[in-house]
Amino acid sequence: MSPIPKTAPFAEDEIDILNRVVGTASPIQRAWLAGFLAGVDASGGLLAPQPLAPVRPAEPLTIVYASESGNSEKLAGDIAKAARKSGLKPTIIDMADLELPTLTSAKRLVVIAATWGEGEPPARAVRTYNELMGENAPRLDGVEFGVLALGDTAYAEFCAIGKKIDERLAALGGKRVVDRVDCDLDFAEPAARWIGDAVKVLTPPNASGRVIEVDFGAKPASAPGTDIVEAEIIEHVDLNSSRSDKETIHVALAFEGGALAYEPGDSLDLYAENDPAYVDELLKSAGLAGDDKLRSDFIKTRDVTTLSAKTVETYAEKTGHQYVKALIADGQVKEWIAGRQLIDLIATFPIALDAETLRALTRPLAPRAYSIASSRREVGDEAHLLISAVRYESHGRARKGVASNYVAERLKRGGRVRVKVKPNRHFSLPAPDKDIIMVGPGTGVAPFRAFVQERRATEATGKSWLFFGDRTFTHDFLYQVDWQEALNDGALTRMDVALSRDTPEKVYVQHKIWDRRAELVEWLDKGAYFYVCGDAKAMAKDVRVALVRAYADVKSLSPEAAEQAVATLEREKRYLQDTY
C-alpha cells in the first residue's frame, strides 16, 4: 500500500505510526479499520476512543539474518512482524549487505544464523562473518542481543555459526539478553517460541499500550504454488550411460491444474520415503520386526538414517546401555558417529527396544531440495529435476542416500511424488541484456538448463557461457543434446567442458576457468554475472580461488587486490552461488 502522505492532517510522528500500522496491514485489516472509523463517525463519535497518551517514537530493533536456503530469512520476517506488533521498529538486514560499523549504533540486535558446508557460514554471509570474527570488528558495548541458530543435528558442527556469532557478540561487549537456542531441521516450534521470548525481553516496558491493537494472528495464505503438491512423473531417464559408475536421473514432473509458480533458480523440496529394506533391517535389529504400523510410519515419516550425538545420548539415556554410556564418558561420540547411521548404533550395541524408544531416536523425515532444471516458459506445466543417486560404503556397509535413491530406484514413470517450491530470489537471472557466466559441474548444471531455456524463451540479448564438468565425455555428459541445441540456436553463446577422467591428469571446471581467464575477466569487466552451482565442499571454493588468481594474472593485481575484485563482484551481487 502507498504510504500515508506527509500532507495528511496529522502530525509527523502520527503519520509515522499510521504508516507502521496501516502500511503493513492486510486488505482485511484495512477494510475493518475503514468500517470501524465510519461507524464511529456515524454514531456521532460515541465509540470514539480515549485520547491517546503522548506518542513516543518506536524503539528500533535490528534483525540480521545469515541464510542460504531462506529459513533464517523467513524467520527474520516473523520476528519483524512480532516486533512491530509489540511496538518496536524493526529493520531487517541480510548479513550479506551488513556493514558492521552500523551495528555500533544498534540498541537491540537479533541475529538468526544458519550453518552450511561443514560448520561454515552461508555463502553470501562469508565476508561479513569474517569481518565480525576479525580483529578489526567494532566494539558493540551495551548492544542488547539475542541469537537464534539454525542447523541440522546430522552435521558434526551443529549450529556452529550461530554459536560462534553468539560468543563473538558477547566478546565485543554486547549484552546477551536472550539465550541462544539451537534449532534442528524441525525448527518451526522452537523458533516461534524463541521469537516470542526474544520480542518480550527486547521490548521496553513503555512500548506496550502505545500500539494500536490489530489482530495479526490470522496466518496469511501462503504464496501461490508454495504448498506441497503431488506431481506425476512423466519422464524418468538415467542420463549416464549404463557403463558409468554414476546414476543421474532426469525427472520430468507434471502437475494437475497448472504448473507450479517457479522461476529459474528456484528449487523443489521433494518429500521422499525411506528404503523399506533398510527399515526392515532396523526393526529387526531393534527386535521390532513384524510391527507393520511402525514399519509403515517409519518408511513414510521418520528420519531413520541420521545418527547424531543427540541420538547417541538419547540411546544411552533410554536404554542405559553401558557401552554407549562409556562412549559418551570417553568423549568418543563425535568420532564414532562419523560415517555411521542409526542402524550401526543399534546393531553394534544391541538391546531390545520398544516402539516408543525407537521412535524417540528418530526425527521427522525432512524433504530434500533439488534445483529446478527447466523454465516454465519452455516446458509449460512441467518441472524438471536432475538427481544424482548418492551411494557409498562406510564402516563395511553399503549406504544409500534416502531421497536420491527413492527417486532413482523406486519412483517410475507414471508414479507420483510430493513436492513444494522453494523459491530462491538470490539466484535469479539478471536483465535479459546482461551477460551470464554459469559454472555448474555435475548436478550443479541443473539450474543452468532452466536459465538457458528461459533466455531462449525470452529472446534475451545478453551472452551466456557455461562451464560444465563431469567424469567422462561418453558416459557422463549430462544434457549433452540440450547444450548442443542451445549452442546452435544461440541460447548459449559458448561452453567449456572439463572431463576429469578422460585424460591422465584430472581436469575440473576451475582449470577451464584458468585457461579462459582473459576472456572471462573481460566478460566480467563488461558487467557479466557469475553463477556457481553444485558441490560446496570443494568445487565452489576452488572456483573462487581460480577466479581470484585469474584477476591477479590478467590485470597484474596483487593477491589482495584480486581478492578485492572478486569481493566487489559479491557485493554487487554479480557473483552468485547456490551450492550444497
Question: Of these, 150, 353, 408, 552, which contacts ligand FMN (CB under 6 A)?
Answer: 150
The pairing of strands 267-271 and 248-254 is unpaired
Vertex 128, ends 125 and 132: CA angle to 5°?
130
Binding footprint of ligand FMN, residue count (CB under 6 A): 24
Among 18-26, 111-119, 199-207, 397-405, the segment contacting ligand FMN (CB under 6 A): 111-119
15 or 369: CB nearest ligand FMN: 369
Q: How far apart are CA 560 and CA 551, in angstroms?
A: 11
370 or 531: CB nearest ligand FAD: 370
390 binds ligand FAD (CB under 6 A): yes
305 binds ligand FAD (CB under 6 A): yes
158 binds ligand FMN (CB under 6 A): yes
β strands within 57-174, DSSP E: 59-66, 88-94, 108-114, 144-150
308 binds ligand FAD (CB under 6 A): no
**Cell digits of residue 70:** 531462506
402 binds ligand FAD (CB under 6 A): yes
Among 313-321, 349-357, 402-410, 464-472, the segment contacting ligand FAD (CB under 6 A): 402-410
- Which region, left, alpha or beta, applies to residue 228 given φ > 0 means left and ψ of -120 to 50 means alpha? beta
Q: Which residue minimizes CB distance to ligand FAD?
A: 401
Q: How far apart are CA 384 and CA 454, in angstroms?
A: 13
Among 30-38, 92-100, 286-294, 366-374, the segment contacting ligand FAD (CB under 6 A): 366-374
What's the chain's Rg over C-alpha atoms? 27
152 or 182: CB nearest ligand FAD: 152
Q: Which does 151 bind (CB under 5 to 8 A by kind): ligand FAD, ligand FMN, none?
A: ligand FMN
Q: How far apart are CA 517 and CA 377, in angstroms?
A: 33
Q: Which of these, 138, 144, 185, 145, lies nearest to 165 by C-alpha position?
A: 145
Site for ligand FMN in 52-71 (CB under 6 A): 67-71
267 or 453: CB nearest ligand FAD: 267
Q: Which does 336 bind (CB under 5 to 8 A by kind): ligand FMN, ligand FAD, none?
A: none
Q: How far apart are CA 417 and CA 23, in angstroms?
A: 40
Question: Of these, 10, 36, 323, 392, which contacts ligand FAD (CB under 6 A)?
Answer: 392
106 binds ligand FMN (CB under 6 A): no
119 or 225: CB nearest ligand FMN: 119
Q: Cα dihedral sign for 486, 488, 494, 498? A: positive
Q: How far apart are CA 227 and CA 55, in angstroms?
A: 41
Q: Which does 152 bind (CB under 5 to 8 A by kind): ligand FMN, ligand FAD, none?
A: ligand FMN
Q: How far apart are CA 125 and CA 69, in angstroms?
A: 12
Site for ligand FAD in 261-280 (CB under 6 A): 267
The DSSP 8-state label assigned to residue 410 in this structure reads: I
Give the type of residue at 166: D
Would you give the distance in Å from CA 395 to the centre of its chain? 30
Q: Smallest distance, Å, CB 10 to ligand FAD?
A: 46
115 binds ligand FMN (CB under 6 A): yes
Q: Smallest distance, Å, CB 457 to ligand FMN?
A: 29
Site string for ligand FMN, 234-253 (x = CB under 6 A): --------------------
Residue 53 host element (H or E): none
Beta bridge partners of 60: 89
- Which region, left, alpha or beta, applies to residue 287 given φ > 0 means left and ψ of -120 to 50 means alpha? left
Binding footprint of ligand FAD, residue count (CB under 6 A): 23
159 binds ligand FMN (CB under 6 A): yes
265, 424 Cβ separation under 8 angstroms? yes
**Cell digits of residue 418:** 510430493
238, 411 Cβ separation under 8 angstroms? no
Q: Which does 327 bind (CB under 5 to 8 A by kind): ligand FMN, ligand FAD, none?
A: none
Q: How far apart are CA 261 and CA 198, in angstroms?
A: 34
311 binds ligand FAD (CB under 6 A): no
Q: Which does 546 bind (CB under 5 to 8 A by kind): ligand FMN, ligand FAD, none?
A: none
| Alpha-helical runs (H) found in 380-445 | 402-405
Q: How far apart are CA 160 and CA 166, in angstroms?
A: 10
Question: Of these, 72, 128, 443, 464, which contacts ligand FMN (CB under 6 A)?
Answer: 72
What residue ranges bind ligand FMN (CB under 6 A)? 67-72, 114-119, 122, 150-152, 155, 157-160, 185, 536, 580
What residue ranges bind ligand FAD (CB under 6 A)? 69, 267, 305, 339, 368-371, 386-388, 390, 392, 394, 401-405, 443, 446, 578, 580
